[in-house]
Structure 1
Amino acid sequence: VLAALSPGALAGAQCGYFIGRRAGGAALSRSRSARLHEGAERAEVLLERYGHAKAIVLARFVPVVRTVLNPLAGALNVPVRVFTIWQAAGGLVWTVGLVLAGYALGSSVPDVDRYLLPIIAVIVAVSLLPLAAELLRSRRAAKQRNENV
């Protein structure tokens, strides 16, 4: 698991960074989404406040931030070398820690999957709610724009 998870997590973060670096600025400038612009501003403030290294490492341990910071770091022109070094450090600590914690929990709690799978299902469902809400909002906005035309 470690042999697959670590390179996958590192490659995914790096890919997100390069997508943000290549297309992030243009996407931010074209977007009318206030939430997206607020998020980008908050990311920029956090990167400046905590420094690139600390922000990139800590982002690995915060579920939504882990996904969003990579492309935003690219769009906000965090130096490639700085991003790569610190995302690798944070990514390795996160993936190795996660796998070892799962192994320890699985070894010490009998039938742990009986308890964890329903909890994970609830977490996944709850984490998808903001996405569903945003999709509904955008569909309503598109419908209103079409009705007004």
Structure 2
Amino acid sequence: MLDPEYLLKTFSYLGLALIIFAETGLLLGFFLPGDSLLITAGLFAARGDLNLAAVMALSAVAAFLGNASGYVIGRQFGPAVFARAKFLKPEYVEQARAYFDSHGNQTLVLARFVPIIRTLVPTLAGTIQMNPRTFLIANAVGALLWAAGVPLAGYGLGKVIPKDVLDKYILVIVAVVLVASFVPVLLEINKRRRR
């Protein structure tokens, strides 16, 4: 697992932007630590190591561009993949299209806050040919909410925890955040298994 604290100390703002871009838009980026990286960036900003406004602005731009890239990848290559895959029936594509027609905006915004799902949703939106204008608006709203809200939560946490405790236990705090970010995914998997 990639250590968010190490990544931020080593690669700073550029690393943050590249990881957020890859995690939100490139299918192979699903394993990258998006939420925990943003929380850690907020903690670092609370310590004075990073500028909070810069973290939020860079993260929002990277998240927006990442999702847009995923959408373009899905739009270009998704239909061909669906056509060739034996296990993906045409009715599944139509079900996904109907779902995105009625719930696409909310899905794109809420998916930002769920690891792995935020990597897959923009590609699926492109694959089913979601309206580009609708996608861009939902993408922008989701990127702003996620890229501002998560670092702000880390910043608030960093301001509540005394600096000496934060310095000493930052790895533990990041580990707890990392584990907590996967709880919604595990709950959803468990719920689906019961069905």
**TM-score normalised by L of structure 2:** 0.54
Matches of residues 71-90 of structure 1 in structure 2 within 5 Å?
A: 71-90=123-142
Deviation at 1:125, TM superposition (A): 9.6
Point out the structure with max Rg over C-alpha: 1
Report the residue type matching 1:113 in the other structure: I
Contact 1:10 1:91 in 2 (8 A): yes
Counterpart position of 2:71: 17
Task: Extract unaligned runs of 5+ from structure 1.
Answer: 127-149
Alignment size in residue pairs = 125
Superposition TM-score, scaled by structure 1 size: 0.69
1:55 alignment partner in structure 2: 107
Tell me whether 67-76 or 41-50 shows the greater mean CA deviation: 41-50
Q: Deviations over 1:29-86 (max 9, x none)?
A: 222345xx96x66644532442x22222122122222111101100101011110111
Matches within 5 A, 1:104-143: 104-110=156-162, 111=166, 113-119=170-176
* 4+ runs deviating over 6 angstroms: 123-126
Answer whether contact 2:114 2:181 (CA < 8 A) is retained.
no
User: What is the identity, as a one-letter code, of the residue corresponding to 2:61?
Assistant: P
**Partner SS for 2:116:** helix
CA–CA distance in 2 between the matches of 1:122 and 1:28?
33
Unaligned 5+ residue runs, structure 2? 1-54, 184-195
Identity of aligned residues (%): 35
